[in-house]
Structure 1
Amino acid sequence: MSISKETVHKLAHLARLELTEDQENRYQKDLGEILDWVEKLEEVDTEHVEPLTNVNEEQVPLREDVADNYFKSTEEALKNAPEKDGDFFIVPKVLS
C-alpha cells in the first residue's frame, strides 16, 4: 500500500516529530510495508481460532482482591510529606 507524503507529514505533526527529507522518505516506505503486512494478515482465516488471553498455556495465579486502607490515619499519610497545610499535601501548581 502506498503512503503519501501528506500522510507522513500529518503523522509527524501528530507525533511532534521534525523529519528530514531522508527520514520522510524512509517513513513513507516503512509505513507502506507495515500496511502491506497488515493487509496480508487480513487474508488469514481466523474464524475457528479462539482469541488468546495469554501467550503461555500457564494460568497466572490470582490473589484475592481485598480493599484495605494503606494509611491508617491522616497523620501517618502526611508524616513524610515535604510540605503540608493542615490535613492536605502542598504540591506544585500544575495549571497556570
Structure 2
Amino acid sequence: MNPAESPSSNGLRYAAMGVVCAAVLLGVLFMRFNAQVDLERQEAAERLVLCQHLESVARATSTSGLELLEACKQLKKRYSESVAPL
C-alpha cells in the first residue's frame, strides 16, 4: 500500500495548477486584446489611405475641399498619435 499524500503537497499542487490556469487565461486575454488593437490600427490606416485619395481627387478637381482637408488633418494627427514608434 502507498502511504497517503500529505495535505501540504496537495495544496502545493493546487497552487501550481492555479498559477498555470491564471497564466493561460491572461495569455488568452492578451492575445485577444492585441488582435483587437491590430484590427483597429489596420482600419485607421485604411481610412487614412482613403482620405489621402479623396484629398488628391479634391485637389485635381480644384473644388473647395476645406472641410475634407480639415477632416483629413485631424485623422492624420490621430493616426500618428496612435501608432507607437518601433
TM-score category by the smaller chain? 0.3 to 0.5
TM-score, L = length of structure 2? 0.34
- Structure with the largest fraction of strand: 1
- More RCO (CA 8 Å, sep 6+): 2
